């Protein structure tokens, strides 16, 4: 009999503890609210993509199960419309949406979900950028980053914008005498042109006629504005580089939130007619010469490396006539 009484006491205590646990869980759930998204803004806007930056003031007392951006052609889109999960760090979310139609108005809202449900941020609207066509008929997406508008791809033109041909250097050319405007393709392979663009020497860049009408080769100051907006030389590369395996290593550190879509096209010029760096570096001209002295000069350029560094100021011989680098145009 006594043993039965002890068993009953243990059972009552266990039931009491279970009741307290359930009550505690209910109390915790009652204190959980949906997340609060304080604001969202356009971080970069392209012809075919947009990156939206959102801030969270509260997760609602519970871990988020998902968060991102939903969008559509009508105001107040929901998760039943198109949606994309965003990366969240320290209450800041970046979310890049691709596949948009140029010159089209969209509406977007940030969303976040926890055990209490899904909440939305305020509506934002934007119109995707127009594209640009060069003298050869190549069509380029454009991207607005801060106060600047850039081409999304490296230049591919084989003619100046006044319809004058630019001489092509290839395996049959006399590279040892070149000291005039010219362009080449990495490894003399036409297949590299579509993905990485053409490589141009300084006399071509300095002509003032290389970019499409209304666009120009950026100055050193304009490059600095872009890099500073993205956090500086040791931060910006991650925002500039495309995501994928074109960058040999460490491509996983790229997010392309800027929409700049930097691809490692490599260079020609270490030895005349030779090529190096594809997969590891993108070297881009500026229109700024630091100094010029006879056959030598110092052109201020930007090199985006696979190690996520943006390098400034690399010495180039003969004011760059023998060096063939990529060009990225900026709007006037």
Q: For the chain, which domains are there?
A: 36-127 (2.60.40.10), 132-331 (no CATH)
* pLDDT of the residue at 293: 64
Q: What pLDDT, in 10s, does the model give residues 33-59?
A: 999 999 999 999 999 999 999 999 988
* pLDDT of the residue at 18: 42
With the C-alpha atoms ordered 255, 240, 97, 63, is the resulting torsion angle positive or negative? positive
* pLDDT of the residue at 12: 41
Residue 223 sits at φ, ψ, to 5 deg, of: -60, -40
Q: What pLDDT, in 10s, does the model give residues 167-203?
A: 998 888 776 666 789 999 999 999 999 999 999 998 8
Angle, CA 94 vertex, CA 89 and CA 100 arms, to 5°: 160
Q: What pLDDT, in 10s, does the model give residues 63-78?
A: 899 999 999 999 999 9
pLDDT confidence band for 221 (50 / 70 / 90): very high
Residue 14 has pLDDT above 60, yes or no: no
Distance CA 231, CA 234 (A): 8
Residue for token digits 């250097």? Answer: 169
Distance CA 227, CA 73 (A): 33
Residue 62 has pLDDT above 60, yes or no: yes
Say which DSSP state 103 is in: T
Tokens encoding 34: 């949906």
Asked if residue 263 lies in contact with residue 152, where contact means CB atoms within 8 angstroms, the answer is no
Distances 270 to 127, 219, 232 between C-alpha atoms, Å: 43, 24, 27
- What does the pLDDT average to over 152-170? 96
pLDDT confidence band for 269 (50 / 70 / 90): confident
pTM of model > 0.85? yes
Distance CA 244, CA 228 (A): 24
| Of the listed ranges 89-98, 120-129, 179-188, 292-301, the one predicted with least confidence | 292-301
3-state secondary structure 202-242: HHHHCCCCCCCCCEECCCHHHHHHHHHHCCCCCCHHHHHEC
Rg (CA), the chain: 28
Residues 6+ apart with CB under 8 A from 187: 275, 278
* pLDDT of the residue at 31: 78
Residue 291 has pLDDT above 80, yes or no: no
Q: Is 72 helix (H, G, I), strand (E, B) or coil?
A: strand
Q: Are strands 142-145 and 148-151 parallel, antiparallel or unpaired?
A: antiparallel
């Amino acid at each position: 009999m006594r043993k039965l009484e002890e068993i009953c006491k243990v059972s009552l205590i266990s039931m009491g503890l279970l009741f307290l646990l359930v009550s505690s869980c209910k109390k915790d759930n009652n204190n959980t609210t949906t997340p609060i998204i304080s604001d969202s803004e356009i971080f970069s806007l392209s012809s075919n993509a947009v990156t939206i930056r959102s801030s969270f003031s509260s997760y609602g007392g519970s871990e988020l199960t998902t968060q991102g951006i939903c969008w559509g052609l009508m105001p107040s889109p929901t998760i039943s419309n198109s949606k994309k999960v965003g990366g969240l760090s320290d209450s800041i979310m970046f979310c890049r949406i691709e596949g948009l139609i140029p010159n089209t108005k969209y509406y977007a809202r940030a969303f976040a979900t926890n055990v209490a449900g899904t909440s939305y941020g305020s509506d934002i609207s934007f119109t995707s950028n127009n594209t640009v066509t060069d003298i050869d008929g190549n069509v380029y997406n454009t991207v607005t980053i801060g106060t600047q508008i850039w081409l999304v791809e490296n230049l591919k033109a084989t003619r100046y914008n006044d319809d004058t041909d630019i001489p092509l250097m290839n395996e049959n050319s006399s590279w040892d005498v070149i000291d005039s405007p010219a362009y080449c393709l990495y490894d003399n392979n036409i297949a590299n042109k579509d993905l990485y663009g053409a490589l141009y020497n300084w006399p071509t860049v300095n002509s003032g006629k290389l970019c499409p009408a209304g666009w120009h080769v950026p100055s050193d100051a304009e490059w600095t504005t872009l890099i500073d907006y993205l956090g500086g030389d040791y931060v910006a590369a991650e925002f500039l580089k495309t995501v994928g395996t074109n960058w040999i290593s460490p491509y996983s550190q790229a997010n392309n939130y800027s929409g700049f879509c930097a691809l490692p096209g490599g260079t020609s010029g270490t030895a005349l007619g030779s090529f190096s760096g594809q997969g590891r570096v993108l070297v881009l001209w500026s229109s700024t010469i630091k100094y010029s002295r006879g056959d030598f000069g110092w052109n201020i350029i930007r090199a985006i490396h696979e190690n996520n560094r943006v390098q400034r100021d690399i010495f180039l011989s003969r004011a760059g006539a023998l060096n063939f680098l990529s060009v990225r145009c900026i709007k006037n």
